[in-house]
Structure 1
Amino acid sequence: MWIIKMENPQYDSMSKKTTIVLPDAIYEDLIRWAEAEGRPTANLAAFLVEQSVRAKFKDKYPAPPK
């Protein structure tokens, strides 16, 4: 087993974990959506949260050049 201290600057940019609580119907639709795209539910949820945060804070996360 490996234990890594999070205050180590080398690991500051690591992904973080969180827990959310969803209504049953939303969770079921999230599962259905993830299955339709062939991806894990957690991966889709992370993508959707990231997109929402990027949309909210556009100045911090500008759109990539096309």
Structure 2
Amino acid sequence: MIKNKVSKRFTVTLPDSVFEDLEILADAQGRPTANLAAFLIEVGICQIKERGEFPDMPKSSKVQKTKEDT
């Protein structure tokens, strides 16, 4: 049986200036602020992986449990 990948939601608290910049950029690109934030997080993680700075084994029990459940 193939399980569908499900997007996860969480809350991020940003300084006002960062949020304002995010809103300006999202508006300029014609996309929702949350969509741009998700994209920027994804790009940041990809860059960390490309530089070889991503840990080999997850240290969080939440991440390990999620991987065990799949």
**Which ranges of structure 1 fall in alignment gaps of 5 or more residues?**
1-8, 61-66
List 4+ stretches of structure 1 deviating above 6 A. none
Distance in 1 separating the partners of 2:12 and 2:6: 19
RMSD: 1.7
Hey, what does 1:63 align to over in structure 2?
Answer: none
* 1:17-36 map, 5 Å: 17-36=9-28
TM-score by length of 1: 0.69
Hey, what does 1:54 align to over in structure 2?
Answer: 46
Q: Count the aligned residue pairs.
A: 51
Hey, what does 1:4 align to over in structure 2?
Answer: none
TM-score by length of 2: 0.65
**Which ranges of structure 2 fall in alignment gaps of 5 or more residues?**
55-70
SS in 1 for 2:3: helix
| Structure with more helix by fraction | 2
Whose RCO is larger (CA < 8 A, sep 6+)?
2
Q: Which amino acid aligns with 2:6?
A: M
Identity fraction in percent: 45
